[in-house]
Amino acid sequence: MQDEALALEEAQDVAYMTRLDHLFAQRHGTSGIASEMQVPEPLDEEDETIVGDEDDEMLPPVLQEIPTADGLLNRYVRVIHTNGMHYLPLVYCACQGHEIIPIDLMHARLVPTSFVYYRTIFTAAALDDFRLTNLECKASAFQYWEKLQRSTVGGGNSMDLDNFY
């Protein structure tokens, strides 16, 4: 029974990688579905929510220090992995167009939460770990998220993390 499940999972992985290779091949000049898709351009402007300076005082000191971009103006994204949450700059080449970025992310086994504006990205390993934890330990998504927060902070207070980045 377990061998059948592993064989099915391996077949799904092969199908997934075959689809990504097909999309990658379309990127380099062959026509197909990807060239006909109308993908909106990513938003360059910030969130238009009005936040006053007095709101900064309510944030814990940890959140006031998180930068939004690196020295080369690459925006930081939150990467969720099995060992916690990490803030890393997202560096990509847009010479082929912005509609290729989700394909490149998926080819690297990274799953963005949005295909238009990238703020949070899950690794395939984190999604596999959540699925296994959910099936074997009956842990809910909230419990898994709390586990990731504790892994990120170490022994500190997980309430200091910004869940709405």
Q: What is the pLDDT of residue 34?
A: 41
- pLDDT over threshold 90, residue 124: yes
Q: Chain-wide mean pLDDT for the chain?
A: 74
pLDDT digits (tens, 9 = 90+) for 127-159: 999 999 999 999 999 999 888 888 887 765 555
pTM value is 0.55
Residues with Cβ within 8 Å of 11's Cβ and at least 6 positions away in sequence, in order, are none
Q: How many CA atoms lie less than 13 Å away from 16 in the CB half-sphere?
A: 13
Residue 110: strand pairing partners: 123
Residues with Cβ within 8 Å of 86's Cβ and at least 6 positions away in sequence, in order, are 78, 79, 152
Q: DSSP for 84-130, please give it.
A: EEEEEE-----TT-GGGHHHHHHHTTEEES-SSS-SEEEEHHHHHHH
Question: At which residue do the structure tokens 């167009």 appear?
Answer: 97
pLDDT digits (tens, 9 = 90+) for 5-60: 778 778 877 777 777 777 767 766 554 444 444 444 555 555 555 544 554 554 44
76 is written with which tokens?
């930081």
Q: What is the pLDDT of residue 28?
A: 62
The Cβ of residue 18 has, within 10 Å, a number of other Cβ atoms equal to: 10
Cα distance between residue 116 and residue 56, in whole Å? 28
Domain boundaries, the chain: 1-34, 67-156
Radius of gyration of the chain (CA): 19
Q: For residue 79, give the H/E element and its range.
A: strand 76-81
